[in-house]
């Protein structure tokens, strides 16, 4: 039963809603603060650019973000108000690098109609009060006292009911607001009020201005010495103050964002709905405004926020496209633009639709989203893990080991690739044509398996075989020295670095050699009580060619031991527990921290913090990577060290913010890997997998990879067709040619590898593509794309006509096979029992695919079901149909074959306005609604009465804080059927803020355990600004607020792994399990996404 669900973010929100600039982290530092709906990011301005400092989760959707500086403060404070009427004032404590809460509170009112145009939060420039407009007809005041402390808030009645914007005016002796509003005749005016804190009331302000531009929607207060306000309309811009009024006409446009450039307020950047960036200049003679000027600078992403940073660099935050860092140039480029894009920050929002596909056929899902809006529309291919880009590959069976070697110590690149097999060793090298060809190193023994190879000092190479260690000149390639294993003993395992060799023979003999110029010296020998299974002397100390530590894995007592070098004294013995022997050990250092990694024969990996001076091992953690033995190897890419764990589930281990991270590699099974950095293929890896040797380069190391396909138009629906290897999208192209704006709706066919448009089918005028599906029908082996449309006529409140179009992909073209007119918008299409199920306005309609006498095909209506307000989202399973209604929540229908009828079986009687539905299992259905909540309902088949059976019981409720447009079954990660995590069914969601998340249905026992962990974590990880996690996750809409149930916050649970050891200990103690066990259980969960 999928009742117990775990919700976790795979891709954080990227929709930038607010930004501001100020001295937040110190009085001398300039910061950019960005709000991404439920998170804020703090950046520092530096010579190198924007330097990210902190990503701060906020337990609320941010409605207002403002920096301000109360009297007597040396740095700015941050005011944040959330959509659920909480606010907080944050201060940066530079000493501890912590955010501390200066004030917080609840500004909700028991009665009041929430404003239609969003919440307004403003701070008086003299810091006398904070003003909030949250409910129609009310203006809330939070006064400051003279010490900068906040006092009790109060409401003032505001006569204007349709408020468009409110700002504080600068330079007023009493705090004064300017209100832009619309009257009941739809005319727009501005009015000023003084706020009398003593009387808790408004006093008529110094001026007002009636009958403004009908599109006026934005006020920009102008700082001293000019003061006054700019009123931005769609056709005019007006400057207004008590003693001046200046207006200029502008090209019709809707201004979405502004950013002040100069502190005296003489220049502003304006961003419009098409992404055009303009500079507005107030010309003035001393303090007298003489006029306004506007200049087009160029094009950016469609801005939702603009922040002038420093030295002509500007941050453009976007909700509809990628955010940007731009530079304003003095002179135009060839295209006449003054804008130069310096950086681009990926934004997936708004995700309006997506599909989950396995394009590379590797058994791992990738998400392809319809992202962005208007000209910034795009497809984004999101996949988890690291990709290997194959450069060359040869068939080679039975590889037992691989090492790369340089032809001289000074050489920057590798030349040789030593490939070892069970009874021979072959050497490959790059020839002059940059091709890999077989060669020979005369001094090497090539008739036997090689156990280890390494470059050594003095232009030498080391080869270890079962009988000897050979030291060979890399110049002459001739043998210079050889160390032979004692008679009767063969070498089992060996390792080396540039100056040292460590090997173990049968009988537990450990031998340590040092490499000189042409000599191998046996320095130390030690007899251990058991056989050695693996060893390593990777230098992680100061000397890059000499290690003072050796690590050895043991059979029998299943331990790892640390020895000092050169004397082979035992320093530490760490029993691993269990019965699985260590197969690979590695000493490594990431970000200045030393670790010991130890891989077991069953695919588990242990990691320890290593104190290199004392040899002490602490903070043991265990995670499961795969099911087969793991081989660990380091490699470097772009000057950073990584560890490659070769196994049935190859993984790259790296460190970010001093925490070890594990990223899947998009290869099925890798037995051996070695770095192979050649001039022709720099930074490459040689990989042995499934009878093949591959040379490849590696992607940037990060968990999620996003490929952007910018379309220049807005994709609205997407669907993949395996058979034709294509995608089909419904898309809107916005045309602007000389003031005329039109939109054109099209169906496009794209190649699923190149994403090129290969065919386009234009829809009729006013016809919108609403749904798309790839399916086949009974008695017909062909695969079709079906598209549902609506004719959206300006005079109709709901479409009364639409079409279902059936296409086939023939010769890379969309061929229309059949079309059927409908009596409304086709909001959803589903393949259903070999037929086509459509949701058309308030009706669910089933169509048969009929063969006409002439051999052509047509859709023929079979049966339907009325009784919805608008049936927007439909999912099916067997004969069951789950419908998400515009405003009547979820209902369950059943198709009766014998009667050829669809009947309602049950419904949820809550009035949820749905935005997506999905079927979790036979009985449990998942829904998302427009107040940013998700919930589950359950079919009650065992109910005693018809009434009970006819009701879907709400079993889970949760406030996600995200508007979900689509759920899809699938997984972003490769699922191993034999791992615990592989058994957990998951649903992926995509949201307006660009979040990709995973909802995993857990077994009850695991849910109970994690619920307890969540409760413990709530006490340890505090909400920033004093905001409560419990309150944040409570289901909340206009009608009710109830505690979250049967959903867990995976983001909170997984943040356990970021805690320091003592906090982990504290929680583990409360949970009654070991830290190691707890870490492993949480690490496992992180591998769901």
Partner 1 sequence: MGSVLGDWPSYDPHNFSQLRPSDPSTPSKMTPTTYQPTHNRTLPPPDQVITTETKNILLRHIYQRAEEKLRPKRAAPEHLLPEHGCKQLRASVQDTPC
Residues 701-720 that bind partner 1 (CB under 8 A): 702, 706, 708
> In 3-state terms, what secondary structure has residue 310?
strand
1024 binds partner 1 (CB under 8 A): yes
313 binds partner 1 (CB under 8 A): yes
186 binds partner 1 (CB under 8 A): no
Q: Considering the complex, what minimum distance in angstroms separates the CB of residue 919 from partner 1?
A: 33
The CA distance from 484 to 473, in Å, is 18
- Measured in whole angstroms, the distance separating CA 1056 from the mean position of its chain's CA atoms is 19
How many residues bind to partner 1 according to rule CB under 8 A? 93
Q: Considering the complex, what minimum distance in angstroms separates the CB of residue 1025 from partner 1?
A: 7
Contact 161, 114 (CB under 8 A): no
Q: Considering the complex, what minimum distance in angstroms separates the CB of residue 141 from partner 1?
A: 9
Q: Considering the complex, what minimum distance in angstroms separates the CB of residue 712 from partner 1?
A: 15
- Considering only residues 283 to 302 of the shown chain, the ones binding partner 1 according to CB under 8 A are 293, 295, 297
- Considering only residues 611 to 650 of the shown chain, the ones binding partner 1 according to CB under 8 A are none
Burial class (CB in 10 A: 0-12, 13-18, 19+), 717: buried
Beta carbon nearer to partner 1, 556 or 1041: 1041
- Considering only residues 323 to 352 of the shown chain, the ones binding partner 1 according to CB under 8 A are 325, 327-328, 330, 338, 340-346
> In 3-state terms, what secondary structure has residue 105?
strand
Tokens representing residue 479 in the block? 């043998």
Q: Considering the complex, what minimum distance in angstroms separates the CB of residue 47 from partner 1?
A: 4
> Considering only 146-154, 419-427, 862-870, 942-950, which stretch makes contact with partner 1 by CB under 8 A?
146-154
52 binds partner 1 (CB under 8 A): yes
Contact 300, 277 (CB under 8 A): yes
16, 78, 88, 606: residue in contact with partner 1 (rule CB under 8 A): 88
7, 10, 156, 222: residue in contact with partner 1 (rule CB under 8 A): 156
Q: Which residues 6+ apart lie within 8 Å of 791 measured at CB?
A: 764, 766, 767, 768, 799, 800, 801, 802
Tokens representing residue 713 in the block? 């138009």
997 binds partner 1 (CB under 8 A): no
**Nearest alpha carbon to residue 1049 among 3, 2, 1, 9:** 9
Q: Considering the complex, what minimum distance in angstroms separates the CB of residue 281 from partner 1?
A: 5
The string of DSSP codes covering 419-463 is EE-SS-EEEEEE-TTS-EEEE--TTS--SS-EEEEEEETTTEEEE
Count CB-CB contacts under 10 A for residue 267: 16
154, 245, 530, 909: residue in contact with partner 1 (rule CB under 8 A): 154
Beta carbon nearer to partner 1, 244 or 281: 281
Binding string, 673-702, against partner 1, x = CB under 8 A?
---------------------------x-x
Contact 692, 394 (CB under 8 A): yes
- Considering only residues 499 to 538 of the shown chain, the ones binding partner 1 according to CB under 8 A are none
Binding string, 187-226, against partner 1, x = CB under 8 A?
------------xxx-------------------------
Contact 483, 520 (CB under 8 A): yes
Beta carbon nearer to partner 1, 41 or 1049: 41
The CA distance from 132 to 55, in Å, is 26
- Considering only residues 891 to 930 of the shown chain, the ones binding partner 1 according to CB under 8 A are none
Contact 281, 293 (CB under 8 A): yes
> In 3-state terms, what secondary structure has residue 993?
coil
- Considering only residues 545 to 584 of the shown chain, the ones binding partner 1 according to CB under 8 A are none
Beta carbon nearer to partner 1, 142 or 826: 142
> Considering only 152-160, 180-188, 411-419, 548-556, which stretch makes contact with partner 1 by CB under 8 A?
152-160
288, 1022, 1061, 1069: residue in contact with partner 1 (rule CB under 8 A): 1022
Q: Considering the complex, what minimum distance in angstroms separates the CB of residue 52 from partner 1?
A: 4
Q: How far is CA 101 from CA 77, 138, 247, 861, 1058, in A?
A: 10, 27, 43, 62, 22
> Considering only 569-577, 607-615, 837-845, 1054-1062, which stretch makes contact with partner 1 by CB under 8 A?
1054-1062
| Preceding omega of 731 cis (within 30 degrees of 0) | no
779 binds partner 1 (CB under 8 A): no
Beta carbon nearer to partner 1, 155 or 842: 155
Tokens representing residue 425 in the block? 């060793």
- Considering only residues 233 to 272 of the shown chain, the ones binding partner 1 according to CB under 8 A are 261-263, 267
74, 311, 781, 797: residue in contact with partner 1 (rule CB under 8 A): 311
Please give the order of strands across the beta sheet that includes 901-907.
871-877, 880-885, 890-896, 901-907
- Considering only residues 827 to 856 of the shown chain, the ones binding partner 1 according to CB under 8 A are none
> Considering only 144-152, 466-474, 746-754, 948-956, which stretch makes contact with partner 1 by CB under 8 A?
144-152
How many residues does this entry show for the chain? 1089
10, 35, 53, 355: residue in contact with partner 1 (rule CB under 8 A): 53
> Considering only 229-237, 363-371, 400-408, 1055-1063, which stretch makes contact with partner 1 by CB under 8 A?
1055-1063
- Considering only residues 1 to 40 of the shown chain, the ones binding partner 1 according to CB under 8 A are 30
> Considering only 322-330, 437-445, 799-807, 1001-1009, which stretch makes contact with partner 1 by CB under 8 A?
322-330
Strands (DSSP E) along 823-920, which ranges? 826-832, 835-840, 843-851, 857-865, 871-877, 880-885, 890-896, 901-907, 914-919
Beta carbon nearer to partner 1, 324 or 463: 324
Beta carbon nearer to partner 1, 525 or 659: 659
Burial class (CB in 10 A: 0-12, 13-18, 19+), 614: exposed
281 binds partner 1 (CB under 8 A): yes
Contact 45, 24 (CB under 8 A): no
> How big is the chain by its Cα radius of gyration, in Å?
33
- Considering only residues 95 to 134 of the shown chain, the ones binding partner 1 according to CB under 8 A are 96, 98-109
Q: How far is CA 576 from CA 573, 579, 580, 605, 914, in A?
A: 9, 9, 9, 11, 52
């Amino acid at each position: 039963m999928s009742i117990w669900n775990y919700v976790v973010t795979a891709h954080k929100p990227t929709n930038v809603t607010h930004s501001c600039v100020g001295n937040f982290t110190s009085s001398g530092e300039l910061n950019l603060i960005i709000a991404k709906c439920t998170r804020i990011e703090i950046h520092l301005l530096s010579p190198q650019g924007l330097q990210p400092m902190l990503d701060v989760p906020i337990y609320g959707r941010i409605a207002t973000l403002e920096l301000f500086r109360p009297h007597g403060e040396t740095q700015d404070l941050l005011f944040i108000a959330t959509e659920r009427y909480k606010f907080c004032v944050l201060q940066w404590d530079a000493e501890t690098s912590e955010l501390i809460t200066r004030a917080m509170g609840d500004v909700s009112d028991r009665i009041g109609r929430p404003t239609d145009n969003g919440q307004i939060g403003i701070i008086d420039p003299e810091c006398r009060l904070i003003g909030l407009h949250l409910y129609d007809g009310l203006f809330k005041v939070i006064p400051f006292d003279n010490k900068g402390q906040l006092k009790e808030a109060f409401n003032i009645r505001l006569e204007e009911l349709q408020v468009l914007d409110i700002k504080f005016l600068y330079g007023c002796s009493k705090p004064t607001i300017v209100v832009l509003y619309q009257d009941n005749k739809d005319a727009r005016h501005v009015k000023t009020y003084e706020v009398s804190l003593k009387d808790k009331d408004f006093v008529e302000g110094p001026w007002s201005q009636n009958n403004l531009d009908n599109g006026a929607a934005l006020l920009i207060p102008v700082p001293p010495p000019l003061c006054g306000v700019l009123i931005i309309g769609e056709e005019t811009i007006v400057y207004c103050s008590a003693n001046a009024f200046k207006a200029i006409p502008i090209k019709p446009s809707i201004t979405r964002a502004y950013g002040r450039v100069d502190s005296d307020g003489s220049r502003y950047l304006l961003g419009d709905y098409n992404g055009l960036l303009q500079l507005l200049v107030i010309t003035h003679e001393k303090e007298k405004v003489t006029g306004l000027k506007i200049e087009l600078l160029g094009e950016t992403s469609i801005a939702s926020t603009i922040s002038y940073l420093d030295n002509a660099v500007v941050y453009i935050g976007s909700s509809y496209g990628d955010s940007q860092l731009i530079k304003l140039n003095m002179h135009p480029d060839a295209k006449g633009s003054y804008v130069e894009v310096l950086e681009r920050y990926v934004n997936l929002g708004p995700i309006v639709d997506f599909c989950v596909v396995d394009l590379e056929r590797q058994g791992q899902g990738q998400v392809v989203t319809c992202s962005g809006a208007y000209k910034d529309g795009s497809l984004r291919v999101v996949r988890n893990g690291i990709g290997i880009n194959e450069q060359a590959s040869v068939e080679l069976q039975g590889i037992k080991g691989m090492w790369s070697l340089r032809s001289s110590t000074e050489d920057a690149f590798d030349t040789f690739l030593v490939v070892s097999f069970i009874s021979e060793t072959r050497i490959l090298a790059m020839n002059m044509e940059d091709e890999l060809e077989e060669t020979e190193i005369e001094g090497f023994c090539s008739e036997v398996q090689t156990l280890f190879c390494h470059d050594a000092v003095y232009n030498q190479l080391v080869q270890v075989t079962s009988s000897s260690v050979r030291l060979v000149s890399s110049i002459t390639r001739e043998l210079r020295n050889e160390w032979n294993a004692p008679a009767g003993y063969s070498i089992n395992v060996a390792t080396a670095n540039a100056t040292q060799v460590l090997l173990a023979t049968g009988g537990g003999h450990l031998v340590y050699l040092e490499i000189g110029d042409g000599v191998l010296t046996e320095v130390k020998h030690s007899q251990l009580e058991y056989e050695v299974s693996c060893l390593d002397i990777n230098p992680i100390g100061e000397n890059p060619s000499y290690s003072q530590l050796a690590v050895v894995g043991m059979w029998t007592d299943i331990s790892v031991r640390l020895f000092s070098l050169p004397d082979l004294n035992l320093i530490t013995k760490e029993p691993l527990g269990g019965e699985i022997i260590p197969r690979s050990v590695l000493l490594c250092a990431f970000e200045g921290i030393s670790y010991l990694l130890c891989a077991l024969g069953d695919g588990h990996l242990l990691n320890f913090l290593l104190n290199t001076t004392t040899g002490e091992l602490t903070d043991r953690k265990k995670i499961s990577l795969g099911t087969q033995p793991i081989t660990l190897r380091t490699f470097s890419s772009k000057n950073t060290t990584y560890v490659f764990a070769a196994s049935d589930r190859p993984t790259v281990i790296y460190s970010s913010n001093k925490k070890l991270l594990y990223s899947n590699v998009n290869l099925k099974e890798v037995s051996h890997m070695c770095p192979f950095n050649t001039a022709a293929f720099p930074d490459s890896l040689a990989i042995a997998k499934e009878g093949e040797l591959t040379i490849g380069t590696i992607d940037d190391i990060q968990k999620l990879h996003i490929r952007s396909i910018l379309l220049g138009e807005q994709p609205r629906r997407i669907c993949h067709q395996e058979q034709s290897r294509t995608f089909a999208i419904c898309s809107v192209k916005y045309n602007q040619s000389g003031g005329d704006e039109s939109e054109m709706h099209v169906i496009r066919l794209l190649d699923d590898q190149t994403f090129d448009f290969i065919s386009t089918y234009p829809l009729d005028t006013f016809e919108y593509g609403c749904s798309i599906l790839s399916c086949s029908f009974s008695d017909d082996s062909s695969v079709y794309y079906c598209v549902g449309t609506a004719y959206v006529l300006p005079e109709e409140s709901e479409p009364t006509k639409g079409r279902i179009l059936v296409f086939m992909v023939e010769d890379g073209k969309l061929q229309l096979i059949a079309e059927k007119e409908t009596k409304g918008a086709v909001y959803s299409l589903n393949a259903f029992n070999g037929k086509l199920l459509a949701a058309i306005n308030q009706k669910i309609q089933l169509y048969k695919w009929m063969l006409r006498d002439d051999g052509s095909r047509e859709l023929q209506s079979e049966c339907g079901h009325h009784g919805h307000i608008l049936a927007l989202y439909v999912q099916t399973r067997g004969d069951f149909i789950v419908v998400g209604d515009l405003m009547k929540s979820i209902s369950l229908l059943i198709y009766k074959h014998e009667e050829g009828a669809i009947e309602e079986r049950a419904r949820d009687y809550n009035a949820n306005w749905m935005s997506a539905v999905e079927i979790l299992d036979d009985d449990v259905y998942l829904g998302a609604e427009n107040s940013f909540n998700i919930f589950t309902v359950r079919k009650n088949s065992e109910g005693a009465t018809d009434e009970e059976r006819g009701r879907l019981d709400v079993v889970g409720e949760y406030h996600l804080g995200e508007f979900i447009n689509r759920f899809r079954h699938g997984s972003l990660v490769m699922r191993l059927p034999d791992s615990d995590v592989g058994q957990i069914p998951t649903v992926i969601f995509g949201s307006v803020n660009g979040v990709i998340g995973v909802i995993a249905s857990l077994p009850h026992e695991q849910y109970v355990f994690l619920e307890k962990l969540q409760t413990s974590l709530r006490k340890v990880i505090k909400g920033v600004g004093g905001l409560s996690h419990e309150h944040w996750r409570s289901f909340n809409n206009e009608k009710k607020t109830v505690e979250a149930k049967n959903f867990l916050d995976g983001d909170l649970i997984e943040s356990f792994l970021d805690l320091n050891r003592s906090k982990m200990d504290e929680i583990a103690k409360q949970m009654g399990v070991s830290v190691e066990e707890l870490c492993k259980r949480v690490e496992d969960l992180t591998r769901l996404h």
